[in-house]
């Protein structure tokens, strides 16, 4: 699960860099991917703590 949060942070950094450089399409897509990775991470963490 640590890999998921690491990937989410990587995509957030990529989105920030793309936004600063003006590539708003890439920044938006990176933010969407990062958001979904964080959601999946939270769901898996909750399932792991319950089981």
Look up the domain containing 37 and give its range: 2-50
Residues contacting 45, CB < 8 A, separation 6+: 1
At 6, which helix (H) or strand (E)? helix 2-21
Please give the average per-residue pLDDT across 27-36, as a whole number.
87
CA–CA dist 35, 5 (Å, integer): 10
Q: How many domains does the chain have?
A: 1
pLDDT, mean of residues 34-41: 88
Model confidence at 47, in pLDDT bands (50, 70, 90)?
A: very high
What pLDDT score was predicted for residue 34?
87
- Distance of alpha carbon 4 from the chain centroid: 8
Residue 1: closest CA among 31, 33, 36, 37: 37
Contact 30, 12 (CB under 8 A): yes
């Amino acid at each position: 699960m640590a890999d998921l949060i690491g990937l989410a942070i990587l995509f957030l950094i990529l989105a920030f860099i793309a936004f600063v450089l003006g590539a708003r399409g890439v920044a938006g897509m990176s933010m969407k991917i990062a958001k979904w990775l964080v959601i999946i991470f939270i769901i898996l963490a909750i399932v792991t703590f319950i089981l």
